Copies of this chain bind each other. A is one copy, B any other.
Amino acid sequence: MQMPTPNQNVLSRKAQIVERLQGVLRDGAVIHSESEVRAYECDALTAYKCPPLCAVLPTSTEEVAAVLKVCHEMGVPVVPRGSGTSLAGGALPTADCVILGVARLNSVLETNYDDRYIRVQSGRTNLSVTGAVEAMDFFYAPDPSSQLACAIAGNVAMNSGGAHCLKYGVTTNNLMGVKMVLMDGTITEIGGAHLDAAGLDLLGLICGSEGQLGVVTEATLRILRKPEGARPVLMAFNDNEVAGACVADIIKAGVLPVAIEFMDRLCIETTENYAKAGYPDCEALLIVEVEGAPEEIDEQLALIKDIALKHDPVELREAQDEEEAARIWLGRKSAFGAIGQISDYMCLDGTIPVSSLPMVLRRIGELSDEFGLKVGNVFHAGDGNMHPLICYDANKPGDLELCEAMGAEILKLCVDAGGCLTGEHGVGIEKRDLMTHQYAQQDLDIQMAVKDVFDPEWLLNPAKVFPLDSSASRRIAAE
């Protein structure tokens, strides 16, 4: 993966930059020794690594503003970082950048059960947002697989989803407002604890902007009352495409399960060896979960099982109690980790219209044969958010490049099927060069011109999202 040439002028002033940053932060908040900055050299896209110039860990919005002001004045690029769980390299440093980590900004600022929102600092982890309100029987809906670790800052940056987003929507549907610091240090508030915005909807623009427009330090999030109960049913099929067709039929019927998850044989077998979830021997599994009062659950599951029976399932297993429900989910939640035990892998994140699931699954199988790389499919099928896991050997020369080439083919396939390069992981560096497959140059120009408004010097996360040659003139003009 090509990275931009680091700015020598910035590199040569490292000592001065560190000193200026130390002047605006508390002791210990600037990390600059060669050994310590290694902790920030990559995110969860571990194929790429680059230690930053230094890293800072501010503890307040005002400190974030002070850091950005210093970097703005000195022309230093800044890469914001939540918990570093990005699968797309969204928090990958450049050698000339300051990593701005929000991990110490993790307080709950306000909870309001009457108006159903919580206001948190952006470094708080996703799961601990729910943790702060669950005693009152509330929860925060978006649930990325990394929810134990990932920060709200990253969720906002990537517009993260999760298994239960079929019903509840992704981050943008649950985010009500942010406090954000612009690159010049200006603190601004966008949205709030109310419906809609007057004037332009900048909140929708900020969500999913991958840290390119500002550093979000606080977020106001919609919280929801926990449903009375939930129950999954596990459906086993002897054909990927048939399982895909079953998903399409459930969606078409207009029932709205809270989640429809898909796993193929590679994932089922690997997971079973690792987590012992008791999954059946089959080609494809669906986990379909519905929520509500017991009678509602019965009624919805009856309808869903009727649809499934038309597709000749090998097994239909409805959870009889909480323990069985937990076991059904255990396998799905362990899938990424299980695959990681047997192989290096790259996790893709394309979306497609649900009706093209069977075709896309077939074509991924063909690509796997053509490239000679195994692919596991485990993903949010209900909203067409695919997560093919391409297995490769990081120690075998050329295998990563082969894997990337195959990943590019799969993502182009998603776009050509009427879908999109990314559902919830973001573009980062991973899909940067594929943006030209989704967008015409004039579309990219408009997106980049919007970045110009917020960050005219292109100092914030400048080598992400856009193809390097498209953004080159802007980044160079800024130096």
Interface residues of A (CB under 8 A from B): 112-116, 137-138, 159, 161, 169-170, 172-173, 186, 188-190, 192-205, 207-209, 212, 224-226, 248, 251-254, 292-293, 295-296, 299, 351-355, 383-385, 418-424, 427, 431, 435, 438-440, 442-444, 446-447, 449-454, 465-466
Contact = CB atoms under 8 A, between A and B. Distances in A.
B443 A197 contact: no
Contacts of A446: 188, 202, 453-454
A383 B449 CA distance: 35
A226 B423 CA distance: 27
A80 to B, nearest CB: 16
Contacts of A186: 442
Contact of A225 (B204, B226, B253): B253
Given A116-B252, A207-B204, A454-B446, A422 B188 contact: no
Contact of A299 (B251, B295, B427): B295
A200 to B, nearest CB: 5
Nearest to A225: B254
Contact of A196 (B197, B208, B226, B353): B208
B204 A438 contact: no
Nearest to A205: B205
25 contacts: A114-B248, A114-B251, A115-B355, A159-B196, A159-B201, A189-B443, A194-B418, A194-B419, A195-B420, A196-B351, A196-B420, A198-B421, A199-B439, A200-B447, A200-B451, A201-B204, A201-B209, A203-B204, A204-B204, A204-B205, A225-B254, A226-B254, A293-B296, A295-B295, A450-B450
Contact of A251 (B116, B138, B352, B354): B116
Contacts of A292: 296
Contacts of A112: 353, 355
Given A172-B201, A193-B418, A198-B439, 8 more contacts: A114-B248, A115-B353, A188-B446, A190-B443, A199-B439, A224-B254, A295-B299, A296-B296
A200 B114 contact: no
A465 B201 CA distance: 12
Interface centre among A196, A384, A447, A465, by most B CB within 10 Å?
Answer: A196
Contact of A450 (B188, B200, B209): B200
When all copies of this chain in the complex are counted, the total is: 2
B198 A431 contact: yes
Contacts of A431: 198
Contacts of A188: 440, 442-443, 446
A225 B248 CA distance: 14
A293 B453 CA distance: 50
Contacts of A295: 295-296, 299
Contacts of A451: 200
A87 to B, nearest CB: 14
Contacts of A450: 200, 202, 205, 450, 453
Contacts of A204: 172, 201, 203-205, 207
A453 B173 CA distance: 26
A355 B435 CA distance: 44
A226 B458 CA distance: 47
A453 B449 contact: yes
A434 to B, nearest CB: 8
Contacts of A137: 254
Interface centre among A205, A421, A427, by most B CB within 10 Å?
Answer: A205
A355 B253 CA distance: 37
Contacts of A173: 169, 173
Contacts of A439: 198-199
Nearest to A449: B453
B453 A196 contact: no
Nearest to A192: B418
Interface centre among A114, A200, A254, by most B CB within 10 Å?
Answer: A200
Given A207-B204, A293-B299, A420 B254 contact: no
Nearest to A212: B200
B196 A424 contact: yes
Given A115-B353, A116-B251, A188-B442, A209 B200 contact: yes
A193 B414 CA distance: 12
